[in-house]
Each structure stands twice: as C-alpha cells, then as structure tokens.
A and B are shown apart, each in its own frame.
Chain A
Amino acid sequence: MNPLAAIGRAFLALLEAIGRLVLFAFAAVTHIVRPPFYPRILLRQMVDIGYYSLPVVALTTLFSGMVLALQSHTGFARFSAEGAVAGVVSLAITRELAPVLAGLMVAGRVGASMAAEIGTMRVTEQIDALSTLSTDPMKFLVAPRILAGFAMLPLLVLVGDVIGIFGGYIVGIYKLDFGAAAYIDQTWRFVETIDVVSGLVKAAVFGFLVTLMGCYHGYRSEGGAQGVGRAATNAVVSSAILILVFNYIITELFFAK
C-alpha cells in the first residue's frame, strides 16, 4: 500500500471527525438559544453537574492547596522567600488548579455518565422515538446538558478557589507556622481579579467541552453495550485532552505578553 495515501486518508479522516464535531457543537449551541426550552431538564442537569460534583471538587482542590503550600515552602525556603507561599498557592489555585482539576473531575463523573446515558438511548432507539414524538433530541437531550455544564463549572470553580486557598492556609498556619493575619494579607495582595476571572472563563469553556464530548460520543454511539462503553471512554479521554489543550490556549490569551 502507498504510505502517502495512508497518511492522506488518516489526515482526511481526522479533518472529517473535527468537522463533524464542530457541526454538532454548532447545532447544539443554536438549539440552546432557540425555543422550546426544557427548564425541568436544565435544572436537573444543573443540580447533577453542580451540586453533586461539589464533594469531589472540594476534596481535590483542598488537598491540592495543601500540597502546594507544603511544596512551595520547601522550594522558597532555599531562597529565604517563604513569604511568597500564600501568593503562589492562591495564584496556582485560581489560575490553574481549580479549573483544571474541576474540569477533569467533572469529565470523569459527568462526561462518562452522559455518554453512557445518551448512548444507551441511541442504541435502544429512544432517540429515534423522541423525534417521532414531536421532540428534537438535540434540543431535549443535548442543549440542556451543555448549557448546564457551561453555567455550573464556573460556580464549582469558585467554590474550589476558596477551598483550595483554604487548604493552603491550613497547612501554612498549622504546619509552616505562618501567622493567620499575615497569610491572609499575603493572599489578598497577590490575587488579582484577572486571576480569578481567567479561571472562571476556563471553567466555562471546560464545562462546555466536557458536556459537549459526553453528548457527542453518546449521540454517535452504535453497536450495543460495547459501543456505549466505548462512547463513555472516548468522552472522558477526549474531554481530558481538550481541557489541557484549551487550558494552554486560554492561558496564552490571558497572560502572554
């Protein structure tokens, strides 16, 4: 076989896959803004994504804040710059760790189950049934989920910001012997609005990506139980990759001089 042709085919297949995904995303977004709306489903998805993800997001950001304080203290002690610990912790949490960790956690928790649920509906013809019952499945299944992800991830990240900084504070006070007032003062002096805002923008994008991938892979799944399993795996893997890629892109947009 001609190796050039094989490369060409693989490249075309990649372009085709990207094209399909972009069209799907575009269709989903247009359905979000056009009636009919399904507030009951939106609310349920918001509770599922936002409220039920709180424990995992709280735990991951808490321990990340704690370990950050510990590690940065080790590092900064070599330059006698221990005073920077509070600032580094809060910057790292708000800019990077809270959004990325929350995104990844939600990808595992919500993205997978969305892909499995929608995938099961696909292979059992429930999606076909929707369209025979005066209901557009893109509007009914996909639009509320993506909107819920987009809206709830920033809220989760806001909570994660507070808890992560609090984790650093606990370690700072009880283990590294900082004064409570000094630590809090340091935090305030370092964190700027842009740090938090950039983290929230990331969160909104990640929420969109995670739910988009969950819906997309579920929607396109075929081939019974095995296909549904594959859809769930693909949803998690692809959203994890997209989160890290977009994390870089957004950071570049916000902070590159």
Chain B
Amino acid sequence: MRLTHLFFLLIFFVFSNCKEQNSYLTKIEGKHIVITDSLTKNKEVEDFIKPFREHINNDLDSILAYSPKICSKSDGELNTAIGNFMADAVYSESNPIFKSRTGNNIDMVLLNHGGIRAVLPKGNITKRQAYEIMPFENNVVVVALKGKQIDALLNYLKNKKKAHPISQLKLTLDQSYNIKEATIKGKLIKKDKTYYVATSDYLYGGNDGMYFFKPNDGLYVLDYKIRNAIIDKFNKLDTINPMIDDRFIQIK
C-alpha cells in the first residue's frame, strides 16, 4: 500500500517538476570518430559474422575462368571489350530461357555503360569479379519492340555517343554521327517487324534516359539476374578474352 502511494506520488512530483521547469540546452559538442584498427573487435559481433563471411568467401573465391588482360569500360570509343562481353553473355545465357518460354529468340541486347561497375582484371576470374562488375540485383527483361521503336533506340545511341553495351545489333555512324547503317543479326531493320530486345529491368524503367522501351508490344521478365548471366558465362569459358570490335563504330 505504502509503496504504491509512493510510486504515484513520485510520478506526480516528477511531472509537476517538468511542467514548472524545462531543461535548457546549454552546450553542444560534436565530433567524428574514425573507426580504425586500433579499436578492438566486439567478440559477440565478430563471432556472429564469421560463418556468413566464410560461406561467402568460399563461394566467391573459387576460380571459374582466366583472363589474359585487364578490360576496362574506358578502353574503347563506342564499344568496349568488357561491355561486349557483358552484352554477349546476356544474349547467349538468356536466349535459351526466353526461347523455352516463348518459342522466340532474343534479337538484340542493350545494357548501359554506367552499369559496368568494375574492370575485368587480369588473372584468375572468380564469382567475386562478377559481383564487382555487376553489384546490382538487376534482372534480364525482354521487350517486344516494333522496328519503328528500334529507331528511337538507335537515335538514343547515336545522340549519347557512349559505349553502351550491345549485342547482335550493329550500328555504324558517319563523320557527323548520323546513322550510316544499322542491322540486327546481320539484317536491315524492318519498320513493322517485332524485335525482342533484352535489357535490364532498371533500363526498362526509363532510367539513364532510355524512354524508348515504352510503349511496347510485350514484356517478358526472365527472373534471371544479369550477374548470373555473367557468372554462367564465366563458368562455360576457360579463358575470357573479349575484344573491341565493329559492332558500334564511327567511320572517320
């Protein structure tokens, strides 16, 4: 009984105190503390992370292929070896999935130059490189576009003058960056034909200014990550030796 009363009174008192008298901010001190190796590791936290780290490292560091040279997205003008590798991997690895689901073939691939996030290094190639090159969880989507809409895609490429990775499309620009010739799988583009364009869900969403994917004649979500296409390609090849070629060039 007495204790209960005391408790209530305490609350009453504390509250009345607060009403009568607020706390006043008198001083602020701010600083940044760098997390350096002089700090000891919290053992509980470290022990929790350890099995996850080991699992990831074992998985990431098993050797899948070999690369005789460094490939960077800055080597090459309108097409790069690493970009060609990625776009070709998306084509060769996604097409069987698309074909089995729809009976159609992918006609071309378009990715974005900014989506290449690291170099393909020289030496042993592991899954870790695939994560570094493509850290995002983007999925392959296939968009059905009429030849007329492919024109908008080509205009985008010629206007940006950037080595956005492509596969199966060949685009040649003249000296003043006008389209000299454009082919898909070696054939001229027909206005009324439907083309199946593989890209990432990110770009399909209109990102990087790629607004030409909408409207369209159909969208197919493959539930297949671009990174997994790269990893599957690494697995199939002993030596990865992509080249800069003539798929997207300017005649000077």
Q: Do A and B come from one complex?
A: no
